[in-house]
Structure 1
Amino acid sequence: MRTRTLAPCAALIALALWLMAARTLPLPALPWDPQAMSLDQIRMAYGLMPRGVIALLAGAMLGLSGAILQVVLRNPVADPTTLGISAGAQLALVLATILSPTLLEGGRWPVAMAGAGAAAALVLAIGARRGFQPVTMVIAGMLVGLTASAVAGAVTLAQGQYLLSLVIWNGGSLVQQDWSGVAALAGVLALGGLAAAVLARPLRLLSLGAEGAQGLGLNVAAMRLAAVAVAVVLAAAVSAELGLIGFVGLAAPALARSLGVRTIPGLLAWSPVLGALILSICDGLVLALAGLGAEMFPTGALTGLVGGPLLIWLLPRLRGTSPPGAESGDRPAPRLSRPGPLLAAMAVALVLAGLVLLWIGRVPGGWAVLDRANLAAFLPMRLPRLLAAAASGAALALAGAILQRLTANPLASPEVLGVSGGASLGYAAVVFGLAAPGALALALGTMAGGALALAVLVAFTARRDMPAERVLLAGIAVSALASAVLSAMMAVGDARAWAILSWLSGSAASVPMAGAVALAGLAVAVWLAALALRRWLALLPLGAGVARGLGLGLPPARLALIVLAGLATGAATMVTGPLSFVGLMAPHLSRRIGLARPADHLTGSALIGAGLMLAADFGARMAGFPYELPLGLFASLIGAPWLIWLMTRHR
């Protein structure tokens, strides 16, 4: 078996990297007495050595957790990251740290367990209604994880006193000051290993299928619950002790299978070994780079850089699809014969809402309606942000409508297909690449990143003729990769990272009037261009064969729509940040009220998106008065319940 050859080689690599990092530190003699040790000896005995051991323990725990999840769910891309378990623990710890520190008096572990358990329960509830289909489970888990990470990031940004420590912790730092963390994780790993040994035989029965296992006397529901509970405890313990370390639980079982492991006991035995080696090598690279003069950054950020490409590589090998009709409505959407009056009423309502939001406000004594003098004073500050918020919502909604018709998938949106993640990378590349980037350079970089991410996604999936749900999952993988790259950038501690962190949460407060007008003009231009391409948007949902038969050239049509959606998303992301779900909600609502034709659907989506973002901006301004909360947080809080409802409304 190739694992027996690779494992010693990987262990030697990890040891060599660790020795390279430790070459300047003397090894203290036993017994250790801190009073008699030099500073370098203390750093070796209580810093570097426990760090090396805890990397092995954490990697083994994540590898074992991923292997259990993949076996019990019969899903080769399940792991604590893709199922949202680690992000749930992260969100719970961030909220407890900032909102209720007293919850941490008993330690971080109970809070992390509660957050991880809640995320796992939500994902399993969605999966149970869809027959635990692999694609559906991972889509639900990664969307829950992305939402939790976005909320955690926005809440972190709102609390400056915790900012640096939480950013580094969220990246997954393995820095140690004593051996207490090693002792705690060693105990959990020992218990988890015993539990995995006990579960090995029932998991083999479960691999025959739920009906076959029940026929042999296995309580399938109890078995699934016990196995998932073990996996959650292992992953949550790592998150509580070290922070967010992603995709090790995905990589270790995948590597074990590629090296010839075929049996379930073998997978449960080799995945912890390979997970320990993967994390140890990643941490060794971080230490080696730090020794060469590079900036230090959390090891978890480096492991995240591997996860997105690995997940995309595994997609063609993923078995199972969503059940027929799982992503469609439970009844045909209504179709208005005369949508003109409804669209006109929506436009009038949007204008009236904007005027109302201009006039009303909140003062220390409560709510107030501004008089003429105060309105004149506040208008230069309030009008640009309202215009920018509405324009960004319209642009995201148009991009979502285009993407849903392009992919024939009603769950597609800029946030889900990785377009927003690509736009974020474009923004970050400009910030780090130019000494003093201007607004135009940032906007062009953001638009180019969004269009490039979507082009790569379409090129990858088109060559493999993937069904719509695989395209969706590939987009989520791109988003995860973008999130990992941004985490690595921010965790370095460079001053430019704070500009990226501030932008990620989204805010319309600093948009000047010229920028707001430009964004509104771009949204109108995208709307007009999409209307001009309405025939393409009507034919593409019918399938490639039908579209070709009716004379549509697919490559140029797809390229034009990709560029259009990328431009709209990039421009809007400058204001809203990379995650808002407006691009998912607005097209759905537009279809639900009967706007089925492409032109009507696009127009209705733009109006609804503008209204949703106006509501989010109002909430961001008023909920935390006199302080302003991040716009992206409020948009996500509106979008997340909608997304969860969409995923749970079908059996």
Structure 2
Amino acid sequence: MNFTRSLRQLTSSPLRTLPGTTSWQTALVALALAAMVLAASALSVANAQAILPAAQWPRAHDLQAVILRDSWLPRLVVSLLSGALLGLAGTIFQQVLRNPLAEPMTLGVSAGAQLALTIATLVAPALLGASAAAPQWLALGGATLAAAVVFGLAWRSALAPATVAVAGLVVTLYCGSIGVALQLFYAPYLRALFIWGGGSLVQQDWSNVTMLAPRLVVGGALAWLLLRPMTLFGLDDENARSLGLSLRAVRLAALALAVVLSAAVAGAVGVIGFVGLAAPALARLAGARRLAQRLVAAPLCGALLLWLTDQTVQRFSGLMGDLLPTGAATALFGAPLMLILLARLHRTTHLPAPADSGATLHAASARALRWRGAALAVLTVAALALALDFGRGPHGWYFATWTQFSHVAVWRAPRTFAALAAGALLAPAGVLMQRLTGNPLASPEVLGVSGGAALGLIALVVLHGDAGHGARFAASSAGALVALVAILGFARRSRFAPDRVLLAGIAIGALFQSVLAVAIAGGNERAASLLQWLAGSTYSVTPADAMLALAACLLLGALTPLCARWLHILPLGDAPARALGVNTARARAALLMLIAALTAAATLLVGPLSFVGLTAPHFARLLGARTPTQQLAIATPLGALTMIAADWLGRAALMPRELPAGLVATLIAAPYLMWLLARRR
């Protein structure tokens, strides 16, 4: 390969639309962005006039003038600066990690910041009130510490993109799980964090502007200085190293820059999701193909997206309430825009997928895998028996006698078998998702089906209060079905290309996150109830639910191994797959429907955020499973074992209090996965 020619193509290719797009499609995206600019400008003028008529601006000195000058104007500027910073950080993350799913939340930045503030609120509230800048410095410290843990976990692998991405997501899950557990226990004391976690842009002075503006200028300058080495990340590691690039040093410098930019936004205004993911995607759709173009276009798209969202929230604040966080509402505008653009455009460039996260790990022999699979099966049966018979009562831990067992089994058995079924459903769904997309960050939660199921439940709870169990089941099923139909519809024109499916699923998932943040922003009883279910509680499972779950597990589990041939062939590409007699569109559609069925069935039991579907495939790979059949055989009992242990610990360890099974599963799996990642080269 001519490396000089490759470098020249990467750094100096002329501006053109993405392959597979036409000029009118790029013009469509540009027209949509122009319409967003006009809408944001009109809303800004209307909002400013509502505070103080324009005719009075030059000579006004009353309260309205103070509000306009010291609250509204800083909020406008902060929305532009925050959106630009997140767009720039998202572009750097996606380029360095070679992953279209990477964003400022990838390295645990937002989760670390929120956990630091949560702990400070409970342990040292006086520290938060020491100065106006104290919350910002605490959030910045938590974000930096989380990123440092990620770098430490991935250091032995030379900060390889897949390892950094997986380590970042694990740290995010772990910090987020601890935060949710604290919120469940101390919800009345953490109401302000519900608002902060949604990304509130309310300002009282110009201090955040003076903090964010220099960071954007300096960060943009540093990103431009790193343009040439970051461009080389468009090549694989071997070619980049042959061109003289110090992979570890440049990755560390670029990722550290993106972390600092993201942490600055988190410390100033809280967690604002989706912008860091959507802004680079919108820049690509608009025709910004080269990295230099994206470093300019993505911050502009991010600023525009957050500006429009914030002005719309302000315009309708009388209808939605004054405490509606702008960050939570961002996806309400950005996600539909992404979905519309995805539906109108034909397939674009296949977004670069990361290298196989297990490529450097040793493959276990068939005999060793059989022994490990048998050991996992024995452990699963033992855990099932232990969860049914061993528990905690008023006088401590005990094994139930036969008489006692007949009484407690009525309560324990449905929950335990439902947890087993949920784990055995989510784990193969995760394997199928990661194999289909070639992306180690892909999971059933990313597909958007679980988010659709949760949206159905949230709509039911918000509109009708605490409805019955049957109504909850129906609402969740309807939401999952709508999400699946939407994803298949948006991805159909691209022949169900994995990158398009992921972007559509993420957009729908972002909608779910925004609606959830709005729903729990009040911090009332409904918020606590939603958090309990969303964290994966099996408390309300009935015997009938458990029987249906086991039946779905057996039926769908029997279908899963039949897809092994597709999972071997589809990663080869469309042309080789068709040459081998595989209809790629139908095969991908069938796999997506199977993933959706597995995910929806599990979501109805334990909520959408257990993340067993993300961690179980990685555990299976770390145990030596390489082929799809091996990974399915190891991941399925791993998922079942994890959920059984999590449900048992959640209901027994802190009795009379309970922790949801999905939350405990993350708390159990994340540290072990961190340990395994830290040991591997």
What TM-score does the superposition give when structure 2 sets the normalisation length? 0.75
Match of 2:386 among 329, 339, 353: 353
- The separation in 2 between residues aligned to 1:54 and 1:540, in whole angstroms, is 48
Aligned partner of residue 23 in structure 1, secondary structure:
helix
**Is the alpha carbon distance of 1:92 and 1:472 closer, same or farther for their aligned partners in structure 2, counting shifts above 3 Å?**
farther
Deviates more, 1:629-638 or 1:399-408: 399-408
Corresponding residue for residue 258 of structure 2: 231
Deviation (angstroms), 1:244: 0.9
**Structure 1 residue 321 corresponds to structure 2 residue 347:** no
Corresponding residue for residue 23 of structure 1: 49
Deviations 1:392-450 (A, max 9, x none): 33443454466577778887643354443333223324434657643223223324444
Match of 1:172 among 199, 207, 215: 199
- The separation in 1 between residues aligned to 2:252 and 2:522, in whole angstroms, is 39
Contact 1:66 1:249 in 2 (8 A): yes
Deviation (angstroms), 1:299: 0.9
- The separation in 2 between residues aligned to 1:448 and 1:4, in whole angstroms, is 35
Deviation (angstroms), 1:301: 1.4
Match of 1:438 among 446, 463, 468: 468
**Structure 1 residue 56 corresponds to structure 2 residue 80:** yes
Contact 2:335 2:508 in 1 (8 A): yes
- How do 1:561-576 and structure 2 match up within 5 A? 565-576=595-606
**Structure 1 residue 186 corresponds to structure 2 residue 215:** no
Corresponding residue for residue 3 of structure 2: none
- The separation in 1 between residues aligned to 2:249 and 2:591, in whole angstroms, is 48
- The separation in 2 between residues aligned to 1:74 and 1:609, in whole angstroms, is 28
Deviation (angstroms), 1:458: 6.0
- The separation in 1 between residues aligned to 2:594 and 2:246, in whole angstroms, is 52
Contact 1:72 1:206 in 2 (8 A): yes
- The separation in 2 between residues aligned to 1:607 and 1:425, in whole angstroms, is 29
- The separation in 1 between residues aligned to 2:411 and 2:265, in whole angstroms, is 46
Corresponding residue for residue 12 of structure 2: none
- The separation in 2 between residues aligned to 1:126 and 1:474, in whole angstroms, is 30
Deviation (angstroms), 1:284: 0.6
- The separation in 2 between residues aligned to 1:597 and 1:213, in whole angstroms, is 29
- The separation in 2 between residues aligned to 1:407 and 1:208, in whole angstroms, is 23
- How do 1:42-441 and structure 2 match up within 5 A? 43-69=67-93, 78-101=102-125, 104=128, 105=130, 107-124=134-151, 141=168, 144-145=171-172, 148-176=175-203, 178-179=204-205, 182-197=206-221, 200-204=224-228, 206-208=230-232, 222=249, 224-252=251-279, 272=299, 274-291=301-318, 297-305=324-332, 316-317=348-349, 320-323=352-355, 326=358, 330-332=362-364, 334-335=366-367, 345=378, 348-357=381-390, 360-363=391-394, 366-369=396-399, 380-397=410-427, 399-400=429-430, 413-432=443-462, 437-441=467-471
- The separation in 2 between residues aligned to 1:72 and 1:408, in whole angstroms, is 17
Aligned partner of residue 609 in structure 2, secondary structure:
coil
Contact 1:135 1:321 in 2 (8 A): no
Deviations 1:235-286 (A, max 9, x none): 2122122111123344445556666768877765665555434322211111
**Is the alpha carbon distance of 1:499 and 1:362 closer, same or farther for their aligned partners in structure 2, counting shifts above 3 Å?**
closer
Contact 1:334 1:594 in 2 (8 A): no
- The separation in 2 between residues aligned to 1:352 and 1:134, in whole angstroms, is 41
- The separation in 1 between residues aligned to 2:373 and 2:637, in whole angstroms, is 13
Aligned partner of residue 484 in structure 1, secondary structure:
helix
Contact 1:21 1:288 in 2 (8 A): yes
Contact 2:151 2:164 in 1 (8 A): yes
Deviations 1:447-493 (A, max 9, x none): 44445545655666676468878866775565444323422443377
**Structure 1 residue 487 corresponds to structure 2 residue 520:** no
What TM-score does the superposition give when structure 1 sets the normalisation length? 0.77
* Equivalent AA in structure 1 for residue 665 of structure 2: A
Deviation (angstroms), 1:591: 8.3
Contact 1:403 1:565 in 2 (8 A): yes
* Equivalent AA in structure 2 for residue 85 of structure 1: V
Question: How many residues are aligned here?
Answer: 637
- The separation in 1 between residues aligned to 2:264 and 2:502, in whole angstroms, is 30
- The separation in 2 between residues aligned to 1:279 and 1:246, in whole angstroms, is 10
Deviations 1:123-153 (A, max 9, x none): 5567777777767766665565455445433
Match of 2:659 among 623, 629, 641: 629
**Structure 1 residue 523 corresponds to structure 2 residue 547:** no
**Is the alpha carbon distance of 1:582 and 1:448 closer, same or farther for their aligned partners in structure 2, counting shifts above 3 Å?**
same
Aligned partner of residue 415 in structure 1, secondary structure:
helix
Aligned partner of residue 352 in structure 1, secondary structure:
helix
Deviation (angstroms), 1:564: 5.3
Deviation (angstroms), 1:568: 4.2
| Structure 2 residue runs without a partner (length 5+) | 1-14, 16-26
Aligned partner of residue 53 in structure 1, secondary structure:
helix
Corresponding residue for residue 10 of structure 2: none
Deviation (angstroms), 1:523: 1.7
Aligned partner of residue 305 in structure 2, secondary structure:
helix
* Equivalent AA in structure 2 for residue 165 of structure 1: A
Aligned partner of residue 486 in structure 1, secondary structure:
helix
Corresponding residue for residue 540 of structure 1: 566
Deviations 1:575-599 (A, max 9, x none): 4221223335556767888999999
- The separation in 2 between residues aligned to 1:368 and 1:577, in whole angstroms, is 30
CA RMSD of aligned residues (A): 5.0
- The separation in 1 between residues aligned to 2:245 and 2:439, in whole angstroms, is 37
Contact 1:138 1:473 in 2 (8 A): no
Aligned partner of residue 316 in structure 2, secondary structure:
helix
Deviation (angstroms), 1:186: 1.6
- The separation in 2 between residues aligned to 1:65 and 1:535, in whole angstroms, is 40
Deviation (angstroms), 1:539: 3.1
| Structure 1 residue runs without a partner (length 5+) | none
**Is the alpha carbon distance of 1:650 and 1:600 closer, same or farther for their aligned partners in structure 2, counting shifts above 3 Å?**
closer
- The separation in 1 between residues aligned to 2:374 and 2:96, in whole angstroms, is 53
* Equivalent AA in structure 2 for residue 187 of structure 1: M
Deviations 1:510-546 (A, max 9, x none): 43xxx23432333234314532x36623433332599
**Is the alpha carbon distance of 1:623 and 1:47 closer, same or farther for their aligned partners in structure 2, counting shifts above 3 Å?**
farther
Aligned partner of residue 392 in structure 2, secondary structure:
strand
**Is the alpha carbon distance of 1:258 and 1:631 closer, same or farther for their aligned partners in structure 2, counting shifts above 3 Å?**
closer
- The separation in 2 between residues aligned to 1:423 and 1:577, in whole angstroms, is 8
* Equivalent AA in structure 2 for residue 25 of structure 1: I
* Equivalent AA in structure 2 for residue 229 of structure 1: A
Aligned partner of residue 210 in structure 2, secondary structure:
helix
Deviations 1:197-223 (A, max 9, x none): 355334345535699999999877555
Deviation (angstroms), 1:324: 5.7
Deviates more, 1:419-428 or 1:448-457: 448-457
